[in-house]
């Protein structure tokens, strides 16, 4: 018994240690009386969670404490947020009600916790429910941005402790993070957190790659530090000579951004050229900031030659999330490109801390200064939410599209500046001016020249919109706009037109089914939708109403259904999501089976390998319960995985390969080399003779002595494929062999 006592004593010490660290970090921002409120919140939380443990076995209170710490230390929030973070799970997990919170801690804390509770937990009921939750979360964002900031802190702590979760939960939570929280952190200017979330996503979804990159970054550490020291020495001397107060730090790029470069450009780690950035941070008065930064730029480029295509000036026109900085990429004396970022202390704080720092400096800014891009963005989110009656998932995609954007600056005929998303067209601009102008737009004059509505705008264009009363929005307009405002307005207009077609279509379908003696029910309609391969029932009604689907073809669906019914196994009917699957497989194969064994369970459950990523044995995979096509197996690195895992997490099931060698799977290889006589012959020899592999196709292209080919072949497993790649790389003249999906 005493043994446990000691542990609890140790734990109590640790809890207090963490609590004190929180107070220490918060000290500079506390007003009189704040510490008392924080202490009260801590005690309430400690009491409420006293018997609870996290998955890792640690006391639950560590979680609210860590979240509060992230709020202070990494986001720079104040007392209200600390209190809300400490209490954020209390209403969810205990008998405490929102009224109790309001009585004890005031209205502000209560509304924040209410916002957090709305978006708490894992979203179970399939996708639209999840997207609905995101939507609620964004509604609270427009009321009080602290809700989202605390939610991001909460998510960061969940990601940091993801190791103790089961694998399918890891995939789901990590994907959701990548899908929504990392872009949100980016948009709110929290770069450090955004990078850490992305790195953690990689760590849990593609551990091997993550470890390999981390290893290589560490390997090159001492070389890198020496390089940076030499690189900044002359700059430091000159800055000191000219009397600047400054600090310089060199930092490696994040693991994820390196991984992204490798993937995008299909290059190995060694070829990623700007592995690190050097940041120069100046102490400078607000009115001299711009001049000082350009002065430093001039000093840097006196020593190193800049790459003219890589100059980014976000000081004259800050990015819409408030980011200001001057970036240039210069050539060092050792023939390596180095990114140099020049900014002031104020800019650096906004870049690292985003939103919170924004407020801090906003009070100091001159009155009458225009609102920041961030405020405008939040206003935009608000109007987007208000006008959105559409489907929540569609909204989610629009919203995500809005998170990542660079922008383009254009002018009205009168010279007013409008900031639009990069890639915007004349049509986007028209909707930016006014909904009516957009809906009636037939073209534009850009810099006095006539252009079509699809014309893409460039920085500095001056745009005048031409309209006509006969014009009305059409479906294909959606392909020619990028701003969510334009998209939402076009969809509104189309929706009105669509509504009547849907009503007509629904009536036709009802009549048709009655004639065929089939029941008109949501289930029948769902099957019809799938049969005609459409996304929603309304799409199906619409196409019938518009006459795109001929009502007589509904008859062929009936015959198809009859055949299907005979084929389908009984289990398929029962499996709807992860929990029903687990139940079924356990009842069929015994209590220890909670996952799909690919290769041996075919007799028990139908499943198919997804076409989008062609998994082969040895790949990291998950099973996904589709609505109509049974279970599909995807690679965790599949391009669709992010969306499936984050939006439909409840349908993800564990799946792994059984170790059988007899079956062959299709895989593709991309080969690059220098052309020589007999090269193809050598390549095919390696493939056919050494490993008894069947080749399905080989296409080769040779241009100016460079040979490029793609080979599709059948292999047994990832290992099998890797051996093959290794052998191919040894063929004389082959430079690079990569797998493609």
**Residues acting as catalytic residues:** 92-93
Structure tokens at 256: 């994820």
358 burial via Cβ count (<10 Å: 0-12, 13-18, 19+): buried
Q: DSSP assignment of 346-389, as one string?
A: HHHHHHHHTHHHHHHHHHHSPTTPPPPHHHHHHHHHHHHHHH--
Helices (H), 49-144: 62-73, 79-87, 90-93, 98-105, 107-118, 126-143
Half-sphere exposure (Cβ direction) of 697: Cα atoms closer than 13 Å: 4
Residue 678 to residues 151, 708, 709, 712: CA-CA distances in angstroms?
60, 14, 14, 20
H helix or E strand, kind and range, residue 395: helix 392-403
Quote the radius of gyration of the chain (alpha carbons, Å).
29
Residue 200 to residues 161, 214, 218: CA-CA distances in angstroms?
10, 12, 17
Contact criterion met (CB below 8 Å) for 624 and 652:
yes
Q: Phi and psi for 319 in degrees, rounded to 5?
A: -70, 165
CA distance 615 to 635: 6
CA distance 176 to 636: 13
Residue 127 to residues 155, 169, 371: CA-CA distances in angstroms?
20, 16, 36
218, 221, 224, 225: CA torsion to nearest 10: 150
- Tokens 């500095």 map to which residue? 460
Q: DSSP assignment of 175-212, as one string?
A: HHIIIIIHHHHHHTT-HHHHHHHHHHHHHHHSHHHHHH
Residue 645 to residues 163, 168, 615, 630, 648: CA-CA distances in angstroms?
18, 9, 16, 17, 6
Contact criterion met (CB below 8 Å) for 481 and 425:
yes
Contact criterion met (CB below 8 Å) for 410 and 460:
yes
């Amino acid at each position: 018994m005493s043994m446990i006592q000691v542990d609890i004593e140790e734990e109590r010490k640790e809890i207090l240690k963490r609590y004190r660290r929180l107070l220490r970090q918060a000290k500079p921002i506390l007003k009189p009386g704040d510490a008392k409120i924080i202490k009260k919140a801590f005690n309430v939380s400690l009491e409420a969670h006293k018997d609870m443990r996290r998955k890792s076995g640690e006391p639950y209170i560590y979680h609210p404490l860590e979240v509060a710490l992230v709020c202070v230390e990494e986001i720079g929030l104040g007392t209200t947020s600390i209190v809300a973070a400490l209490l954020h799970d209390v209403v969810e997990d205990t008998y405490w009600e929102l009224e109790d919170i309001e009585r004890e801690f005031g209205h502000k804390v209560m509304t924040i916790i209410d916002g957090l509770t709305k978006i708490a937990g894992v979203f179970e009921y399939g996708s639209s429910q999840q997207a609905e939750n995101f939507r609620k979360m964004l509604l609270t964002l427009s009321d009080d941005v602290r809700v989202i900031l605390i939610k991001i802190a909460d998510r960061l702590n969940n990601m940091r402790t993801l190791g103790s979760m089961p694998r399918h939960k890891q995939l789901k939570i990590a994907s959701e993070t990548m899908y929504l929280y990392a872009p949100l952190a980016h948009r709110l200017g929290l770069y450090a957190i955004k990078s850490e979330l992305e790195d953690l996503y990689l760590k849990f979804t593609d551990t091997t790659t993550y470890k390999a990159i981390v290893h290589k970054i560490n390997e090159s550490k001492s070389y890198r530090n020496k390089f940076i020291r030499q690189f900044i020495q002359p700059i430091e001397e000159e800055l000191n000579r000219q009397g600047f107060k400054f600090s310089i730090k060199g930092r490696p790029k994040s693991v994820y951004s390196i991984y992204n470069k490798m993937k995008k450009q299909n290059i190995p780690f060694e070829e990623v050229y700007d592995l690190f950035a050097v940041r120069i941070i100046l102490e400078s008065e607000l009115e001299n900031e711009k001049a000082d930064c350009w002065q430093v730029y001039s000093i840097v480029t006196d020593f190193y030659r800049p790459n003219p295509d890589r100059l980014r000036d976000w000081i004259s026109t800050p990015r819409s999330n408030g980011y200001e900085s001057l970036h240039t990429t210069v050539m060092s004396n050792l023939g390596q490109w180095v990114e140099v970022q020049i900014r002031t202390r104020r800019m650096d704080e906004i870049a690292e801390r985003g939103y919170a720092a924004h407020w801090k400096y906003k009070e100091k800014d001159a009155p009458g200064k225009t609102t920041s891009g961030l405020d405008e963005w939040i206003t935009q989110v608000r109007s987007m939410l208000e006008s959105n009656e559409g489907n929540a998932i569609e909204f989610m995609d629009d919203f995500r599209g809005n998170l990542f954007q660079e922008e383009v600056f254009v002018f009205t005929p009168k010279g007013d500046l409008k900031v639009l998303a990069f890639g915007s067209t004349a049509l986007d601009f028209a909707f930016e001016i006014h909904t009516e102008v957009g809906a009636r737009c037939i073209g534009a004059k850009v810099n006095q020249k006539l252009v079509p509505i699809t014309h893409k705008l460039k920085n500095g264009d001056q745009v005048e919109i031409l309209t006509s009363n006969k014009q009305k929005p059409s479906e294909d307009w959606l392909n020619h706009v990028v701003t969510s405002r334009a998209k939402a307005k076009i969809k509104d207009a189309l929706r009105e037109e669509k509504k009547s077609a849907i009503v007509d279509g629904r009536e036709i379908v009802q009549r048709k089914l009655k004639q065929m003696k089939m029941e008109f029910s949501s289930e029948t309609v769902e099957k019809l939708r799938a049969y005609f391969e459409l996304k929603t029932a309304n799409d199906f009604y619409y196409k019938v109403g518009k006459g795109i689907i001929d009502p007589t073809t509904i008859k062929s669906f009936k015959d198809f259904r009859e055949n299907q019914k005979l084929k389908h196994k009984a289990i398929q009917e029962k499996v709807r999501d992860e929990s029903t699957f687990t139940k079924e497989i356990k009842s069929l194969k015994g209590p220890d089976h909670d996952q799909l064994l690919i290769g041996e369970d075919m007799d028990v459950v139908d499943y198919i390998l997804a076409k989008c990523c062609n998994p082969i044995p040895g790949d990291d995979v998950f099973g996904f319960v589709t609505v109509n096509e049974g279970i599909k197996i995807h690679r965790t690195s599949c391009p669709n995985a992010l969306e499936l895992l984050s939006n439909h997490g409840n349908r993800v099931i564990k799946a792994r390969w059984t170790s059988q060698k007899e079956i062959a799977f299709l895989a593709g290889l991309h080969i690059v080399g220098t052309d020589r006589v007999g090269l193809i012959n050598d390549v095919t020899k390696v493939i056919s003779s050494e490993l008894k592999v069947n080749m399905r196709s080989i296409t080769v292209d040779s241009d100016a002595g460079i040979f490029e080919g793609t080979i599709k072949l059948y292999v047994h497993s990832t290992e099998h494929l890797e051996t093959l790649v290794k052998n191919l790389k040894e063929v004389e003249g082959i430079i690079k062999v990569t797998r493609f999906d």
